[in-house]
Amino acid sequence: MPERTYLITPGPTPVPPEVAAAMARPLIHHRSPDFKVLLEQTLAQLRRAFATEQEVLLFAGSGTSAMESAVANLLSPGDDVLVASAGNFGDRWTKIARAYGIEPRIHAQPWGEALDPAAVAAQAQGAVAVYITHSETSTGVVHDVRAIAEALRPAGALLVVDAVSSLGGVELAMDEWGVDVVVSGSQKALMTPPGLAFAAASERAWTISERAALPRFTLDWRVTRDSQAKVQTPFTPPITLVAGLNTALTMIETEGAENVWARNRLLGRATREGAKALGLELFSPDDDSSSMVTAVQMPDGIDGQEAYGLLRDRFGVVLAGGHGPLRGKVIRIGHMGYMNRFDIITALSALELVLGDLGYQAPTAGAGAARAVEVFAQLETSRV
């Protein structure tokens, strides 16, 4: 295995040295005054990142546990629920609901499409809640949550959004857009290792959750809310990760969220242009809506999983393969979190080398990296 690993993947993403240093500090106790200060600050930072006045609940677990909490805390057996999905993570909502004995109605669109707000709203009548994904990491599509929230308003269903791979990397204004529940995780745009999950709920969602009858214990929103009201956590939290997250969120706030979003868009643009210059076709949309991850189609006869393995084993370049029907057909390049132009140039160059080994010739040697450099050069004023 190569000595260095380049995580140019949609999660977990690279951890900045500042975040790693914060996590290397001696462990403090979670009932200590020092942790209280850290927690209070971090919860306030999270509220700003979620753009909400509501409490952001913090759980030990991966992003999926926050998704699970949004099923267990809102629903009761027999509830009418709609899942709108156009990819692997949208489908995960259905799997979680079924694990809790809820059979959702499903609005399915082909993988790679953006959810159609009117079509989702048309099916939402009578549903207690509609579950969607913001950045569908499996396809690269960032769904238009704002438009979906607007379209859903007359139906009155709660809107629950999986923002695991979007929060902090692309705009999501929970309160302003009228999103009822947002869930996320630490290891993507938030530049922190995996292990922290978050959920925030609107007043409406809290009211519905009061009568929700599904079982829950460690993921019980009320228990965490009541504990956080005393600036505590109900169970032993991943103290080290909270310290890392605090530093990561400080970095994001210091840079300015909008500058971070702009960087992701630019990195996405360079990735798309570079991939096309290699003669490859894009699976994700060829526009700024796919600003978190780019899915690139593999040329005929080349197995994306083989390319993925070679990239990792020969060069230590970790991209991501395809999920479900896209397995072997696409390679996904992440451009969120602690990444810059050189990560994109590295990803494109390594991809070109590996595809060459597998028998695919790019039109011109180095064309992908060269095109990415051109894109960056046109944007000299950017902070990428």
Ligand X SMILES: Cc1ncc(COP(=O)(O)O)c(C=O)c1O
For ligand X, the binding residue among 50, 89, 177, 360 (CB under 6 A) is: 89
Q: In this complex, which beta carbon is closest to ligand X, that of residue 194 or of residue 316?
A: 194
Q: In this complex, which beta carbon is closest to ligand X, that of residue 64 or of residue 240?
A: 64
CB of 59 to ligand X, least distance (A): 11
Nearest to 68 by CA among 188, 238, 212: 212
CB of 289 to ligand X, least distance (A): 15
Pairing status of strand 196-201 against strand 56-60: antiparallel
Asked whether position 294 contacts ligand X by CB under 6 A, the answer is: no
Q: Where is 108: in which H helix or E strand?
A: strand 105-108
Can you tell me the distance from the alpha carbon of 264 to that of 335, in angstroms, rounded to the nearest whole number? 6
Asked whether position 111 contacts ligand X by CB under 6 A, the answer is: no
Residues 6-25 that bind ligand X (CB under 6 A): 11
CB of 375 to ligand X, least distance (A): 25
257 CA to centre of own chain: 15
Q: In this complex, which beta carbon is closest to ligand X, that of residue 160 or of residue 369?
A: 160
Can you tell me the distance from the alpha carbon of 368 to that of 107, in angstroms, rounded to the nearest whole number? 37
Q: In this complex, which beta carbon is closest to ligand X, that of residue 284 or of residue 349?
A: 284
Site string for ligand X, 37-66 (x = CB under 6 A): -------------------------xxx--
Asked whether position 291 contacts ligand X by CB under 6 A, the answer is: no
CB of 16 to ligand X, least distance (A): 19
Residues 146-185 that bind ligand X (CB under 6 A): 162, 164-165, 185
23-39 residues labelled b (16+ CB within 10 A) or e (exposed): beeeebebeeeebeebb
Q: Supply angle C-alpha 369, 372, 373, rounded to 5.
A: 85
CA distances for 105 relative to 146, 147, 152, angstroms: 22, 21, 16
Binding site for ligand X (CB under 6 A): 11, 62-64, 89, 133, 135, 137, 162, 164-165, 185, 194
